[in-house]
Chain A
Amino acid sequence: MGSWLDETLTWGNALLFFLWGVILLAIVLGFVTYAIFFERKVIGWMQFRIGPNRVGPWGLLQSVADIAKLLMKEDTIPRKADRALFILAPALAYVPAFAVLAVIPYTQKLYFADINVGLLYYVALSGISTIAIVLGGWSSNNKYALLGGMRSAAQMISYEVPLVISVVGVIMMSGSLNLRTIADQQGDWFWQWNFLPQIIGFVVFVIAAVSELNRTPFDLPEAESELVAGYHVEYSGFRFAFFMLTEYVYVYAIAALTTVLFLGGWHAPFPFLDWVPGIIWFLLKFSFIVFFLFWIRATLPRIRIDQLMGLGWKVLLPVAILNVFLTAVYLELFVK
């Protein structure tokens, strides 16, 4: 698939690219619809509830109905809001969330773009969504939204840094920023995958990733018990749906990225299980990460903003840097 990118651009090629984009979008929308359903079911079961079970068989159409409702809602824009920015913000949040998916390799052969700096591309683009959140909070002309947006900016700065540094260890071990190469180089046995040799980096990465996603226990920008709904308090209808969509697409992206970077991508945990197609393994690992994110949402309380900053700068960042150092020492002594 990736080889098409090297060919000259013709009308036929452009149509193909467009088609693949639409297919990916359909997959992502399907994922988001059922991730929301799955989240509600999982959390429901953890809380001794049943969860949605009315719309369609086993409630499978609940999310579809919810989305349809959001799309048909009246589009309200506060009179004193900054109209242009208010309209721009949800779209601006969504575009990078979708764009980062281009570099995720699903199997050896199934991927969309094979970029040499894939990881850097991911990190650089995902930062843009935060600007959209600040923008949404600011343009709403609502004090709660403003506080939520500001929190989001502070949170992003504190967590983007440890997130990037925590993967430096992985980059050093594989010697590449290309996500396909990183996934490919992890060994055949599951203890050779990056999450064990890079256990410190892995833990820092997971914590920072949850924070990047603005999910519990780091859901400060939208902390509903303090800031009502945070940055999207004034949004309704499909604009609100776009913010929610962004959040779940990032769940998809982070789960896929964790799988590729630390959990061996499409590799089977044991070499004798190689006959199972790689995509199955990828999906299993991916689903586990998604489940993990929902699981902690049902379990943990929310952290406070100053504690969040302290954790980011005083704990995660030094630990991530230590991990880089340890990896360098290991590579120097044993590998070279």
Chain B
Amino acid sequence: MIRTEELLLNVGPQHPSTHGVFRIIVKLDGEVITEATPVMGYLHRGTEKLAEDLNYTQIIPYTDRMDYVSAMTTNYVLCHGVEKMMGLEVPERAEFMRLIVMELQRIASHLVWWGTYLLDIGAMSPFLFAFRDREIIINLFNELCGARLTYNYMRVGGVKWDAPVGWIDKVREFIPYMESKLDEYHRLVSGNEIFLARIRGVGAYDAQTAIDYGLSGANLRSTGVDWDLRKAKPYSIYNRFEFDVPLGKNGDCYDRYLIRLEEIRQSLRILKQAVEQFPSSGDVMGKVPRVIRPPAGELYVGIESPRGEIGVHIVSKGKAEPYRLKFRRPSFVNLQILPKLLVGETMTNLITILGGIDIVVGEVDC
């Protein structure tokens, strides 16, 4: 008696391509997915609850561990929220330092994505090329604040450390190097027939769907929606610099790929202008009260992290600790569309689509 049945396959939490401890339960008909259920929470550490017992400076190291691939932007969103609530002035030099490290971080984060995405697709070498170039950025950060991954660099009212002598010159040298490497990456990968066949038209959705699901970052812009918080709601000193927001058309993995690589180029453009205008002297820490007590009230600020809109909602009762702290994590929100995208795709495309969304599990689970 021959009968067929669906295969219930448990992808993760220990699987090489789920980028951490993420799990998807898929029902397979042959190799075609009929149902996909993401399961998350394996990395949940209760950051938001823990924050209620900590003062604002103590929360900053916790934000490092949320989006650990892009810790600088997560640092920034909390400091920025608190500064806005208290109406603090941030010195010019500190703003430049923040902007430079955030853009370097965006490049580093996209490089990690690029390398691991191609590893998912089966190309091994780009991963090592990407990490070789990321290493330069990591070393720059190391020189700046002594850490390579979880920087704990920003503070409410400024940054902890000033740039060491010669640091800005190193950033300046990095820009042309990275530009040439970016061209090399395009030559190596972007035109590869197998690569194009693998990702073109895969995981496509339209602009309305993307907005309905609350997507942000490259996932939203790949559908052609011009929404980059650096332009749409300028924060820090982004309005002083010229840069473009790369947009896609088809909303597929290929557009997301091109957007992320183009964002590296635009970040380099911002960096080039920033190192030219970098103030030669000045404080990196503003005048901040010894105990940070934002006035009672609520506030939400969002900024553009490499993965999309990362936001913080602070509820303060006028104490040194927040009454309630809520992070809007782009990886978590972007992941919502996954079950919808996966139905009808093959097992291979599951990896391609999941990789294309660009999640960091530390941020998904928070």
Report chain B residues within 8 Å CB of A305: 31, 346, 348
| Cross-interface CB contact of B124 among A43, A48, A307, cutoff 8 Å | A43
Report chain A residues within 8 Å CB of B189: 301
Q: A304-B348, A304-B349 are in contact. Are A225 and B132 (CB under 8 A)?
A: no
Report chain A residues within 8 Å CB of B7: 143
B192, A226: Cβ atoms under 8 Å?
Answer: no
A301, B122: Cβ atoms under 8 Å?
Answer: yes
B348, A223: Cβ atoms under 8 Å?
Answer: yes
B128, A49: Cβ atoms under 8 Å?
Answer: yes
Distance in angstroms between the alpha carbons of A144 and B28 in the assembled complex: 12
B31, A298: Cβ atoms under 8 Å?
Answer: no
Distance in angstroms between the alpha carbons of A266 and B181 in the assembled complex: 43
Task: Indicate if B340 sits at the interface (CB-CB under 8 A).
Answer: no
Task: Indicate if A214 sits at the interface (CB-CB under 8 A).
Answer: no
Q: A47-B128, A304-B348 are in contact. Are A225 and B9 (CB under 8 A)?
A: no
Distance in angstroms between the alpha carbons of A143 and B30 in the assembled complex: 11
| Cross-interface CB contact of A226 among B129, B194, B347, cutoff 8 Å | B347
Among all A-B residue pairs, the 7 with the closest Cβ atoms: A302-B122, A301-B123, A47-B128, A301-B121, A225-B17, A301-B122, A225-B120
Q: Distance in Å from the Cβ of B328 to the closest Cβ of chain A?
A: 30
- Interface residues of chain B, those whose CB is within 8 Å of chain A, are 7, 9-10, 15-17, 28, 31, 118-125, 128-129, 132, 189, 192, 194-195, 197-198, 346-351
Distance in angstroms between the alpha carbons of A217 and B198 in the assembled complex: 12
A48, B129: Cβ atoms under 8 Å?
Answer: yes
B346, A304: Cβ atoms under 8 Å?
Answer: yes
A47, B16: Cβ atoms under 8 Å?
Answer: no
The SS class assigned to the B binding surface is: helix
B17, A301: Cβ atoms under 8 Å?
Answer: no
A297, B346: Cβ atoms under 8 Å?
Answer: no
Distance in angstroms between the alpha carbons of A228 and B11 in the assembled complex: 10
Report chain B residues within 8 Å CB of A300: 122-123, 192, 194
Report chain B residues within 8 Å CB of A47: 124-125, 128-129
Q: A303-B198, A306-B346 are in contact. Are A216 and B15 (CB under 8 A)?
A: no
Distance in angstroms between the alpha carbons of A48 and B131 in the assembled complex: 11
Q: Distance in Å from the Cβ of B223 to the closest Cβ of chain A?
A: 24
Q: Distance in Å from the Cβ of A104 to the closest Cβ of chain B?
A: 30
| Sample (30) of A-B pairs whose CB atoms are under 8 Å apart | A43-B125, A47-B124, A47-B128, A47-B129, A48-B128, A48-B132, A143-B9, A147-B347, A219-B122, A223-B122, A225-B121, A226-B351, A227-B347, A228-B15, A228-B16, A297-B124, A298-B125, A299-B123, A300-B122, A300-B192, A300-B194, A301-B122, A301-B123, A301-B189, A301-B198, A303-B122, A303-B197, A306-B346, A307-B197, A307-B198
Task: Indicate if A75 sits at the interface (CB-CB under 8 A).
Answer: no
* Most interface-central of A216, A226, A297, A300 (chain B CB within 10 A): A226
Report chain A residues within 8 Å CB of B28: 147
Task: Indicate if A224 sits at the interface (CB-CB under 8 A).
Answer: yes
Report chain B residues within 8 Å CB of A224: 16
A301, B347: Cβ atoms under 8 Å?
Answer: no
Taking CB as reference atom, which chain A residue is nearest B126? Answer: A301
Taking CB as reference atom, which chain B residue is nearest A154? Answer: B31
Taking CB as reference atom, which chain B residue is nearest A306? Answer: B346
Task: Indicate if A99 sits at the interface (CB-CB under 8 A).
Answer: no
- Interface residues of chain A, those whose CB is within 8 Å of chain B, are 43, 46-49, 143-144, 147, 216-217, 219, 223-228, 297-307
Taking CB as reference atom, which chain A residue is nearest B197? Answer: A307
Taking CB as reference atom, which chain A residue is nearest B196? Answer: A301
Distance in angstroms between the alpha carbons of A302 and B349 in the assembled complex: 12
Taking CB as reference atom, which chain A residue is nearest B120? Answer: A225
Taking CB as reference atom, which chain B residue is nearest A310? Answer: B197
Distance in angstroms between the alpha carbons of A46 and B127 in the assembled complex: 12
Q: Distance in Å from the Cβ of B15 to the closest Cβ of chain A?
A: 6
Distance in angstroms between the alpha carbons of A297 and B122 in the assembled complex: 9
Report chain B residues within 8 Å CB of A46: 125
Taking CB as reference atom, which chain A residue is nearest B10? Answer: A143
Distance in angstroms between the alpha carbons of A227 and B122 in the assembled complex: 12
Distance in angstroms between the alpha carbons of A301 and B199 in the assembled complex: 11
Q: Distance in Å from the Cβ of B126 to the closest Cβ of chain A?
A: 9
Q: Distance in Å from the Cβ of B7 to the closest Cβ of chain A?
A: 6
Report chain A residues within 8 Å CB of B10: 143
* Most interface-central of A147, A223, A304, A306 (chain B CB within 10 A): A304
Report chain A residues within 8 Å CB of B198: 301-304, 307
Q: Distance in Å from the Cβ of A191 to the closest Cβ of chain B?
A: 29
Report chain B residues within 8 Å CB of A304: 197-198, 346, 348-349
Distance in angstroms between the alpha carbons of A43 and B120 in the assembled complex: 18
Q: A217-B194, A304-B198 are in contact. Are A226 and B348 (CB under 8 A)?
A: yes
A225, B119: Cβ atoms under 8 Å?
Answer: yes
Report chain A residues within 8 Å CB of B350: 226
Distance in angstroms between the alpha carbons of A147 and B9 in the assembled complex: 10
Distance in angstroms between the alpha carbons of A216 and B122 in the assembled complex: 8
Q: Distance in Å from the Cβ of B204 to the closest Cβ of chain A?
A: 16
Distance in angstroms between the alpha carbons of A30 and B124 in the assembled complex: 27
Q: Distance in Å from the Cβ of A292 to the closest Cβ of chain B?
A: 16
Distance in angstroms between the alpha carbons of A307 and B199 in the assembled complex: 12
Distance in angstroms between the alpha carbons of A298 and B123 in the assembled complex: 7
Q: Distance in Å from the Cβ of B255 to the closest Cβ of chain A?
A: 18
Taking CB as reference atom, which chain A residue is nearest B348? Answer: A304
Taking CB as reference atom, which chain B residue is nearest A46? Answer: B125
Report chain A residues within 8 Å CB of B9: 143-144, 147
Q: A226-B17, A228-B16 are in contact. Are A301 and B31 (CB under 8 A)?
A: no
B194, A303: Cβ atoms under 8 Å?
Answer: yes
Q: Distance in Å from the Cβ of B92 to the closest Cβ of chain A?
A: 39
Q: Distance in Å from the Cβ of B243 to the closest Cβ of chain A?
A: 30
Taking CB as reference atom, which chain A residue is nearest B121? Answer: A301
A147, B195: Cβ atoms under 8 Å?
Answer: no
